[in-house]
Amino acid sequence: MPYNQDMRSPVLLVIAVFFFPALASAYPFGGAAGQVVPCYNNAIYVSVGAPIGGPHIWIPGSTQTYAFGAPTHSGQWLLGLASAPYYCIVSILPVIVWPGTAITMLGTSR
């Protein structure tokens, strides 16, 4: 199959997204934790409620975490920055994977 010039830009986009995650911009989020689930891939899945919520994933060694540590329980307040898509392996048999957004910086309440 000959090289096609039209394929160059999608290939570069895929390379940029998967190999240069530091180039992704972060956006703020914050609210009360609804669901806090430990993951098999050594992460923590957090469903954050209003005002700016969504599914987020705390990653050890990657998330800059402040004073009170990682999310531990429902009702805890979180404030931080999230960036790239990530995943949480909830079960290994059967394989269940929950998508979310990686947390880059996080502060929590007690």
CA 93, chain centre distance (Å): 23
For residue 42, pLDDT beyond 80: yes
Task: Give pTM, 2 decimals.
Answer: 0.74
pLDDT level of residue 14 (50, 70, 90 thresholds): low
Query: Average pLDDT for residues 51-56, to the nearest whole number?
Result: 91
- C-alpha torsion angle, residues 69, 74, 78, 81 (rounded to 10): 90
Domain boundaries, the chain: 29-108
Residue with more model confidence, 54 or 16? 54
* 81-107 per-position pLDDT tens digit: 999 999 999 999 999 999 999 999 999
3-state helix, strand, coil in the chain (%, to 5): 15, 55, 30
For residue 23, pLDDT beyond 80: no
Which among 86, 83, 77, 27 has a CA at the least distance from the CA of 50? 77
